[in-house]
Structure 1
Amino acid sequence: MATEKWVFMVTAQTPTNIAVIKYWGKRDEVRILPVNDSISVTLDPDHLCTVTTVAVSPAFDRDRMWLNGKEISLSGSRYQNCLREIRGRAGDVEDMEKGIKIRKKDWEKLNLHIASHNNFPTAAGLASSAAGFACLVFSLAKLMNVDEDPSHLSAIARQGSGSACRSLFGGFVKWTMGSKEDGSDSVAVQLADEKHWDDLVIIIAVVSSRQKETSSTSGMRESVETSLLLQHRAKEVVPKRILQMEEAIKNRDFASFTQLTCTDSNQFHAVCLDTSPPIFYMNDTSHRIISLVEKWNRSEGTPQVKF
């Protein structure tokens, strides 16, 4: 490794995703392993995304991170897990132009600076942690020349935020819950790319940009501990629904796709109400939008829009 002071950096952009068959509840809190499979649609990165720049230099005395311009701690286990996993897979890096050569073994001694920015409200229900951790893992993998395919990287991103594994792919993505204790088979796979259904339009209505009163992490834990409906959903309902949703996506069947999406969304909120104490993620504006959607579809006789 060269002794002069240099900075080597990479910037990446990763979109957020919206689950159409929801992930809610973990069977393993540490490894972030879900109680059921889930399916999502990746949004257009031009509209909702995280942009992350990661830099390495011998001049940096410790790992540091800034989110939306404000420094945050990297001491949490989720950040540490992602950093450890990527560093463990790092390869040799050489930039002839800048005269930089980093050997595989050097990465353990070098410190990182990470700057991440969301172009949408954080922790308001738009999967900011999914885009954030996916972008963190993807940019670190590029910086450290990690030779892994997106599914393998998805297992690392999952350890930061469950839904992050799905944001490493465009289009329609399935997160397979897996069955192994170590979580090695709990990965994301692309069902169809972003060109598969390019006339499908998603409208985001931000009814509140405030942070959620109950975080997803604590909400899931409480649902797993107290909701009988969640147990029934994971075992009996979701496996059938996943197969139906895969078929609807494959055939671009808008009526089936939207009906399944609405039904699953309603059941997710029912699980939240079945949790003790109950969790409320919708407000009066959310309910008014749902009412208008249902009235519009009834007046047309066929599904025009769904939620």
Structure 2
Amino acid sequence: MASEQQPVVVTCTAPVNIAVIKYWGKRDEELILPINSSLSVTLHQHQLKTTTTAAISKDFTKDRIWLNGREEDVGQPRIQACLREIRRLARKRKSDGDEDALPLCLSYKVHVASVNNFPTAAGLASSAAGFACLACALARVYGVEGDLSEVARRGSGSACRSLYGGFVEWQMGQRADGKDSIAQQVAPESHWPELRVLILVVSAEKKLMGSTAGMQTSVETSALLRFRAKALVPARMAEMARCIRERDFQAFGQLTMKDSNQFHATCLDTFPPISYLSDTSQRVIRLVHRFNAHHGCTKVAYSFDAGPNAVIFALDDTVPEFVAAVQHSFPPEPNGDKFLQGLPVEPALLSDELKAALGTDPTPGGIRYIIATQVGPGPQVLDDPGAHLLGPDGLPKLAS
């Protein structure tokens, strides 16, 4: 017979982050410790987020997890790593005699449901948002407080950067146990209000090679990756932090593009080589450089993670013209009413000079759609019970 005690239920949201100084490669596969530090921009959850509900109850007979409505294997090693770490921290808090620790039996099983409002595993940092959200929801439901970098990092390295809003540094750390490999905020989301982000979705398909396998191969075979981590990244981290503090878009944009290019160069230096960029990705790169050359300065900057989708940084007064340039170079398909998503953008009229600079080789349908967003806050807790993804029985609510 089921008990009358209701499950303890918590729902959180967490953001996507985009690294402008890239993380690629681990020095410890189990603890997820990186070979170099990294720095990212947190995107606004109004456009891109993961929502996760966690519930614990004495009536649950086993741990279970659902992703985008489909039950997944809860035994997946990285999910288990997060669960073990949260439960360890909860036990520690209880054993330390914390009177505010939840008076729950730590043997209670947990049910988790998570949904993304963006394509999963398509190079849009879905795992970062997902594991950051999982860490936050589990911490709340088990009464764990404090920094969750290690919990999120054990699920996905870059997830620790999604624990904060604004501009975030993931320090590689030096300790073998990884206790100093943590995320810290460089500047809050309110620091650079003019900064805008455009995600040009080239493909929503799952990547042919996931980041985990790609990183491991690169660490084993790429001399360029090792040189980059040791000789180049420390200075780039300091310079990027300066660009952000001083809101120096010219330098920010150039360094962002250079670091993206170098990351993909390490992928090509891997053996066998890895290529995450498509022909359309390369066309976007050419478009950005032609646009900047026309203006005689860096007005827009691209960054590509381990996938073909382009992330474009620009100041708000540049966005209308650049969106028009994208539409010119990649004419939308007939359902063009959904081409522009997210923040409202009214494309500008392009001058004949800029049209000529962009070239006369359009690629219809090359860009499926654009998500316009901005820098945003870190994880949020949703107090509205109606936001829970799990019903009173601990199972996913039926889609409406």
- TM-score, normalised to structure 1, is 0.93
How does 1:198-209 map onto structure 2 within 5 Å? 198-209=193-204
Amino acid aligned to 1:264? D
Does structure 1 residue 120 correspond to structure 2 residue 118?
A: yes
Amino acid aligned to 1:137? A
Amino acid aligned to 2:73? S
**For 1:139 and 1:71, how far apart are their aligned partners in 2?**
18
**For 2:25 and 2:252, how far apart are their aligned partners in 1?**
23
Q: How many percent identity over aligned positions?
A: 55
Instruction: Check conservation: 2:15, 2:49, Cα contact below 8 A.
Output: yes
Aligned match of 1:223: 218
Amino acid aligned to 2:79? Y
**For 1:174 and 1:155, how far apart are their aligned partners in 2?**
14
CA positional deviation for 1:248: 0.5
**For 2:282 and 2:299, how far apart are their aligned partners in 1?**
18
Does structure 1 residue 288 correspond to structure 2 residue 286?
A: no
CA positional deviation for 1:4: 2.9
What per-residue deviation string (whole Å, max 9, x for no partner) do you get for residues 174-231 of structure 1? Answer: 0000010000000000000000001100000110111111110000000000001001
**For 1:41 and 1:81, how far apart are their aligned partners in 2?**
26
Q: Secondary structure at the match of 2:239?
A: helix
Amino acid aligned to 1:49? K
Aligned match of 2:72: 72
**For 2:272 and 2:249, how far apart are their aligned partners in 1?**
36
CA positional deviation for 1:145: 1.6
Q: Secondary structure at the match of 2:202?
A: coil
Aligned match of 2:160: 165
Structure 2 alignment gaps of length 5 or more: 95-100, 303-400
Tell me which structure has the larger Cα radius of gyration. 2
**For 1:83 and 1:155, how far apart are their aligned partners in 2?**
12
- Alignment RMSD, CA only? 1.4
Q: Secondary structure at the match of 2:225?
A: helix
Q: Secondary structure at the match of 2:259?
A: helix
Aligned match of 2:349: none
How does 1:39-188 map onto structure 2 within 5 Å? 39-90=39-90, 103-104=103-104, 106-107=105-106, 109-148=107-146, 152-188=147-183
Aligned match of 1:98: none
Amino acid aligned to 2:112? I
Does structure 1 residue 30 correspond to structure 2 residue 63?
A: no
Aligned match of 2:331: none
Structure 1 alignment gaps of length 5 or more: 93-100
Q: Secondary structure at the match of 1:202?
A: strand
What per-residue deviation string (whole Å, max 9, x for no partner) do you get for residues 84-117 of structure 1? Answer: 111122267xxxxxxxx9525x12x101110000
**For 1:74 and 1:22, how far apart are their aligned partners in 2?**
29
CA positional deviation for 1:3: 5.4
Amino acid aligned to 1:131? A
How does 1:250-289 map onto structure 2 within 5 Å? 250-289=245-284
**For 2:86 and 2:244, how far apart are their aligned partners in 1?**
33
CA positional deviation for 1:76: 2.1
Does structure 1 residue 7 correspond to structure 2 residue 7?
A: yes
**For 1:84 and 1:225, how far apart are their aligned partners in 2?**
29
Instruction: Check conservation: 1:6, 1:59, Cα contact below 8 A.
Output: no
Count of aligned pairs between the two proteins: 293
Instruction: Check conservation: 1:6, 1:58, Cα contact below 8 A.
Output: no
- TM-score, normalised to structure 2, is 0.72
